[in-house]
Structure 1
Amino acid sequence: MEDSHDLHPRRAWLVLLRTPGLGPGGLRERLAAHGGNIEAVLDALLRQAASLSAEARAWLMQPDEARLAADLAWLAEPGHRLLCCLDADFPPLLETIPQPPAALFVAGDASLLLHPQIAIVGARSATLSGRTHARAFARELGLAGFTITSGMADGIDGAAHLGALDAELPTVAVIGTGPDRVYPSKHRGLARRIAQHGALVSEFPPGTPARSDHFPRRNRLLSGLSLGTLVVEAGLSSGSLITARLAAEQGREVFALPGSIHNPLAQGCHRLIRDGARLVEGVSEIVEALAPAAIALGRELASRLDLEPAETGRSTTAADPASQVVLNALGHGPIALDELAASTGEAVSVLSSMLLMLELDGRVEALPGNRFQRLPD
């Protein structure tokens, strides 16, 4: 049942997210000016309606109540959430990108957005070899502790999601439609699996159809959520190159798989490599390159719970009390992540980052099925 205390702020968020011409930047600016009070932002805009565009004024003065009711109904369903930039668990990596979103619609496990992620993208018309590489890299990177993030498009994107799901690992899809729409429609089954075992994420409200200008906007979130972006097959006009460029502009690592000079879908990757992307041939190269960023993210998340960081240069040590609690809880047999969370009382998002640091430190091994095992000292 909808909490009546929460209903008015949530409705205000929905009205403002749908206000023509406001955009995430305008909404964030007004939130800052009104101390984070979303209802105060809406009241102020209503008082200033005369200075707004005709379209914005018409919406604010008489919003479509049926549309807002449909939004609220979608949010009331289990596993659905409006993740706002004021929420404590809003992804910190998105706060550092140009034009950060004001809110995200999430279907599935929103805590995955705090995990160390790597984006895997590439051509929609990928070759069998490219799709095979994408699935293999997704599986191995997932087993190394990274959440696989992609755009649920045909080709490489879909293969990356499947590589994680088939290994019983979570995956995040950042989409260019409303969270209740699936594009392409052939991926309806994939979207259901992602929502059940990962998360579907959109900046666009429910009911928003696919539009060509939505996907470049989506791409900044795809790269922004991730510590790095791996491009597997891309033509010279591929949208994946946009994602790679955005990743570089956001200060993220960009990786590219080389291919045959006779394969047109290798040309985009070769151009990225010439422009400074890391040429990679194996998962270990990516894990090693992203380890410092993963460690920094883990420490930032741990600091939210007032955990003491390790004082040495290692990612985690036996001297770190929080890490020792996790090691003790692991025991000497495989344990599932949710069981570990229950036994330690830690949030899954924080545990995932701590486990990645312990794995990079050679103290923990990730196993299929989102299970972990302590290694001998």
Structure 2
Amino acid sequence: MQSEEQQQWLTLHLLYGGRRSLWRALLASFASPAAILEAGPEQWRAAGINPSNQRRQASATIQKQALALYQQLQRLEAELLPLTAPGYPCLLAQIPDPPPLLYVRGNADYLRRPSLAIVGSRKPGSAGLRAAAEFSTAAVRQDLGVVSGLALGVDARAHQSALDSDGITIAVMATGVDYCYPRRHQAMASEIIRRGVLVSEALPGSKPLPSRFPQRNRIISGLSLGVLVVEAAQRSGSLITARVALEQNREVFALPQSVYYGGGAGCNSLLRDGATLVTCADDIFVELGMLLQAQQALQQDVKVELPSELLAVYAMVGFEPVSADALADLLGIGTPTMLAALMELQLRGMVRVEAGQFMRT
């Protein structure tokens, strides 16, 4: 992406911030950030967008701030990834409110690999820490990335175990990608940049405001095939992640907890409400089997013939953009199954995704 285009995206972020419904309308109606910035009220109205939402784009102050942010991203060796970019993670693009812009430090390609989110208490017991480590290690052995939120407790143990197992881990931040929170995880964050990826929808320099954490959680689940809740109290951020995951048609897994342990009551509530009970890693891998088998074959460079179910999906994907939900309805299958098939086709280079819509390459 050229410097000018990056500064245009940053200008739009400064102008419209986290107004995701407005972003979706703008990205659906205009072909580029330049087109959005150059459009007048009549063009907004013609696109069905209320021009009263439009702000003055020519402000010298805004342009100066955008240039400073661009220079900061360059110093950080960070990547700006718009929703419309071919490299935007296809699973995340399919959630109801995908981030219009992602800021990435590390290898952005890792955002597109099949991954498992592992979340839980910031103050887990020893059993919770052991489970986070063991399930993270098992995920790495299945060529899954491990996604979490860089928080204390379960998150940190999941990240560190993935790194210790020479695996890929993705840390989704509620701050800017230049601001590590909590501060004690700075060394871990630096290691993740080298061997994994840090990602945030917040502008560089953003501090850890309370409102940003629930928004961060939807990205954790959105990047993942499923979410494992290791340990969670009845009211916790991990339960927010799990419930958002269900809304996103993701698989939710939970470890059963003693009825006498209040710190695990949230897991038992999830199980009561229909989450998959997990006692070993294979319980997860059986549920995620189709995509895991495809990923293993691709990682090992095994040439396999296209299975009949993938042929059926590929036959329905044309050269015009179409959503995963629409394809699922046409074939009469669930959206999670359709997303798994589309991801495999994307990994094979047969399908690409733009702004959450799929088409043939």
TM-score by length of 2: 0.77
Is 2:69 aligned against 1:74? no
Structure 2 residue identity aligned to 1:237: R
Counterpart CA distance in 1 for 2:18 and 2:253 is: 35
For residue 27 of structure 1, the aligned residue among 23, 28, 32 is: 23
Shift of 1:171: 0.2
The whole-number CA distance in structure 2 between the counterparts of 1:261 and 1:137 is 22
Query: In the TM superposition, what whole-angstrom CA distance separates every residue of 1:309-346 from its partner, at most 9, and x where no partner exists?
Result: 623579xxxxxxxxxxxxxxxxxxxxxxxxxxxxxxxx
Distance in 2 between the 1:179 and 1:66 partners? 21
Rounded to whole Å, the distance in 2 between the matches of 1:269 and 1:137 is 16
Please name the residue that 1:262 is paired with.
Answer: 260
In the alignment, structure 1 residue 18 sits paired with structure 2 residue 29: no
Match of residue 43 from structure 1? 38
Q: Per-residue deviation at 1:118?
A: 0.5
RMSD value over aligned CA atoms? 3.1
**What is the letter of the counterpart of residue 97 of structure 1?**
I
5+ long unaligned stretches in structure 2: 45-49, 311-342, 349-361
Aligned ranges 1:92-107 → 2 under 5 Å: 92-107=90-105
Q: How far off its partner does 1:262 sit? A: 1.8
2:209 aligned partner: 211
State the AA in 2 paired with 1:199. V
Q: CA deviation at 1:65?
A: 4.6
* Residue 281 to residue 24, structure 1, CA distance change in 2 (3 Å): same
Determine if contact 2:285/2:292 at 8 Å carries over to the other structure.
no
What do residues 92-141 of structure 1 show as CA deviations (whole Å, max 9, x unaligned)?
A: 11121111111200000100011001000001111122112101110111
- How far apart are the structure 2 equivalents of 1:59 and 1:215? 29
Contact between 1:16 and 1:22, CA under 8 Å: does it hold in 2? Answer: no
Alignment partners' CA distance in 2, 1:309 and 1:17 = 44
Q: How does 1:327-342 map to 2 (within 5 A)?
A: none
Classify the secondary structure of the residue corresponding to 1:229: strand
Whole-Å separation in 2 of the counterparts to 1:62 and 1:240:
42
1:310: which partner in 2?
306
Distance in 2 separating the partners of 1:152 and 1:45: 42
Q: Label 1:295 to 1:88 Cα distance change in 2 as closer, same or farther (>3 A).
A: farther
Q: Conserved in 2, the CA contact under 8 Å of 1:46 and 1:60?
A: no
Look up the equivalent residue of 1:24 and give its one-letter code.
R
Letter in 2 for 1:28: R
What whole-Å deviation, never above 9, does each CA across 1:14-38 have from its counterpart, x for those lacking one?
Answer: 010122466233223212212x221
Identity of aligned residues (%): 37
Q: What is the Cα deviation at residue 264 of structure 1?
A: 1.2
Equivalent residue for 1:167, pick from 149, 154, 165: 165
Q: Residue 190 of structure 2 aligns to which amino acid in structure 1?
A: R
Amino acid in the other structure paired with 1:90: Y
List per-residue Cα deviations over 1:222-273 (Å, max 9, x = no partner): 1011000000110001110000001011111000011222211110000000
Q: How many residues align?
A: 309
Q: CA 1:312 to 1:65, structure 2 compared with 1: closer, same or farther past 3 Å?
A: closer
Name 2:192's counterpart in structure 1: 194
Structure 1: gaps (5+ residues): 315-348, 355-377
- Is the CA contact (8 Å cut-off) linking 1:82 and 1:106 kept in structure 2? yes
* Residue 176 (structure 1) aligns with: 174
